[in-house]
Amino acid sequence: MRNWDPRQSLRHYHHVKRTGRFNASPPTVLAAGFIALILIGALLLWLPFSNQHGISPLTALFSAASAVTITGLTTVDISSTYTPVGQAILLVLVQIGGLGFITFSIVTALALGKRISLKHQALAQEAFNQTSIATVRQTARTTIKITLLIEATAMVIFTLWWWLETDFYTALGRGIFHSIMAFNNAGMSLTGTHLANYVDDPVLVIGTTLLIIIGGIGFTVLNDMRQKKAWKTLAPYTKIVLLGTLAMNLTGFVLIWLLEYNNPKTLGPLSLPAQALAAWLQNVTTRTAGFNSVDIGALEDSTTLIMMVYMFIGGGSLSLASGIKIGTFIVLMAAAYSYLFQRPQVTLLKRAISADTIQKSLALLLVMATLTFCATLLMTLLESAPFISILFEVVSAISTTGLSRDLTPTLSAPSQVLVIILMFIGRLGPLTLIYSLSTQHKGLVRYPETPFQVG
């Protein structure tokens, strides 16, 4: 470990004082920005105009962190706790947290005609998980355009549908709130938008799941599809994500339906069409969205286990979903297949996967699994709830899914802090890991290999 050099610290202080600039890595800037956003959001939610009867600072912090990390876990009921102003603040936090403050800053700089500095380009490159600086501007513009178009379309459809049962302004409020929450994979619901009340409504269920899927496959995939339009011309990564998403959704849908169709506490009492809609929603929502139309705590343990695996995997890179990402999962499966069948290369769609990509995937899996284990162990010491409920809560938090087996409102203060940390890590942790791996310094010394037993 390097010794602290007071002269270097003094030079750094004078540099900051003179230029107003900090020398920090892109993940540090991103993390600091999200922390600042969470704290500002918590303060606004804690103020009297945002809540009905007064809330604790920890409750406000938990809600703000959940919104910024687009998780959706809440310790209180949003409808009865927060005023319309507070609910609007949550919407803004979700929108900024979902797209990322860096997207807004880049688009603003472009709109003002400002040139993006090399350091800001590196920051944007890290935020968008891009390997080419040249694509950052296009990705930022496309991200905003796609988001506004999809959300606006969904708002119109949901507003018109809810207008059939309530007045226009109530329907409009529901449409705006639900569209933003669904597309951003946030999962927060008002009393009037909770999908448990619409378990057999095809418009709301199918519309919600489409928003979740579109928001979860990634903006690079959406942009590639928008530009090329033909399957043959799509990038290999786009094809892999689309095929993987389709396979996971269909498999999860069938498994959840088969496992729950006879459960009297979930799908059992429903009609056949309603069972299909409920099973489809609960399958899609595990892609880090957090909505539910049945009691999650009443699901069979086998169904709960499948949902945890799906939550852990998550969605596509540069998307509104978290988890280890479906691309990471597919690379790991391809690497295992190549090793077991003695293939010389790890390939996907007749394209070789680099060793660096495989190492990053393995590192990401190990880090996320280790964090999940440590957090679960700590929460078992803090809470007396059933183990499967604790594990589900941890996986839901670190994957920023937002589903809960009714444990979140009963969590102690230390456990709430732990969940806040997990939500934050789940949103930004993999980004920091990828950055640290991509900035490794190659040493000049090479050591001889030695046989080592594994497996």
Q: Is the pLDDT of residue 127 over 80?
A: no
pLDDT band at 7; cut points 50, 70, 90: low
pLDDT of residue 224: 84
Q: Is the pLDDT of residue 13 over 50?
A: no
Return the amino acid letter for 239: K
* Cβ atoms within 10 Å of 36's Cβ, excluding its own: 12
Q: Is the pLDDT of residue 436 over 60?
A: no
pLDDT band at 146; cut points 50, 70, 90: confident
Candidates 192, 216, 202, 129; CA nearest to 400 is 216
For residue 14, being part of any structural domain is answered with no
Candidates 307, 302, 414, 322; CA nearest to 368 is 322
pLDDT band at 210; cut points 50, 70, 90: very high
How does the average pLDDT of the chain come out, rounded? 85
For 91-95, which contacts have Cβ atoms below 8 Å and span 24 or more sequence positions?
Answer: 91/176, 91/177, 91/180, 91/181, 93/37, 93/41, 93/64, 93/67, 93/68, 94/67, 94/68, 94/70, 94/180, 94/181, 94/184, 94/186, 94/188, 95/180, 95/184
Candidates 255, 228, 234, 389; CA nearest to 310 is 255
pLDDT of residue 180: 94
For residue 264, being part of any structural domain is answered with yes
For residue 93, being part of any structural domain is answered with yes
Range of the domain at 39: 23-436
Q: CA–CA separation, 50 vs 46, rounded Å? A: 7
If one counts the domains in the chain, the total is 1
pLDDT band at 4; cut points 50, 70, 90: very low
Of 6-15, 114-123, 259-268, 351-360, the poorest mean pLDDT is in 6-15
Q: Is the pLDDT of residue 204 over 90?
A: yes
Of 257-261, 329-333, 342-346, the poorest mean pLDDT is in 342-346
pTM above threshold 0.95: no
Geometric angle at alpha carbon 312, from 93 and 124, rounded to 5°: 45
Once rounded to an integer, what is the mean pLDDT over residues 240-247?
A: 94
Once rounded to an integer, what is the mean pLDDT over residues 390-417?
A: 95
Q: CA–CA separation, 106 vs 113, rounded Å? A: 11
* Cβ atoms within 10 Å of 79's Cβ, excluding its own: 14
For 440-446, which contacts have Cβ atoms below 8 Å and span 24 or more sequence positions?
Answer: none
Q: Is the pLDDT of residue 11 over 60?
A: no
Cα Rg for the chain, rounded, in angstroms? Answer: 23
Note whether 38 and 157 are within 8 A (CB): no
Greatest extent of the chain over all pairs of C-alpha atoms, in Å: 75
Q: CA–CA separation, 419 vs 414, rounded Å? A: 9
pLDDT of residue 118: 64
pLDDT band at 437; cut points 50, 70, 90: very low
Q: CA–CA separation, 89 vs 95, rounded Å? A: 10
- Dihedral of the alpha carbons of 357, 363, 364, 365, in degrees to the nearest 10: 110
CA distances to 72, 278, 310, 364, 421 from 324, in Å: 18, 26, 10, 7, 17
pLDDT band at 321; cut points 50, 70, 90: confident
Of 8-17, 165-174, 236-245, the poorest mean pLDDT is in 8-17
End-to-end CA distance of the chain: give it in Å, rounded.
33
pLDDT band at 377; cut points 50, 70, 90: very high
Once rounded to an integer, what is the mean pLDDT over residues 409-421?
A: 96
pLDDT band at 191; cut points 50, 70, 90: confident
pLDDT band at 142; cut points 50, 70, 90: confident
What is the percent of the chain with per-residue pLDDT over 90, rounded to a whole number? 59
| Cβ burial 130-169 (10 Å sphere, 16+ → b, else e) | beeeebbbebbebbbebbeebbeebbeebbebbbeeeeee
Q: CA–CA separation, 202 vs 196, rounded Å? A: 13
pLDDT of residue 166: 93
Q: Is the pLDDT of residue 123 over 80?
A: no
* Cβ atoms within 10 Å of 349's Cβ, excluding its own: 11
Q: Is the pLDDT of residue 105 over 50?
A: yes
For residue 186, being part of any structural domain is answered with yes
For residue 12, being part of any structural domain is answered with no
For residue 455, being part of any structural domain is answered with no
Q: Is the pLDDT of residue 435 over 60?
A: no
pLDDT band at 144; cut points 50, 70, 90: confident
For residue 62, being part of any structural domain is answered with yes
For residue 8, being part of any structural domain is answered with no
Q: CA–CA separation, 398 vs 378, rounded Å? A: 14
pLDDT of residue 1: 39
Q: Is the pLDDT of residue 192 over 90?
A: no
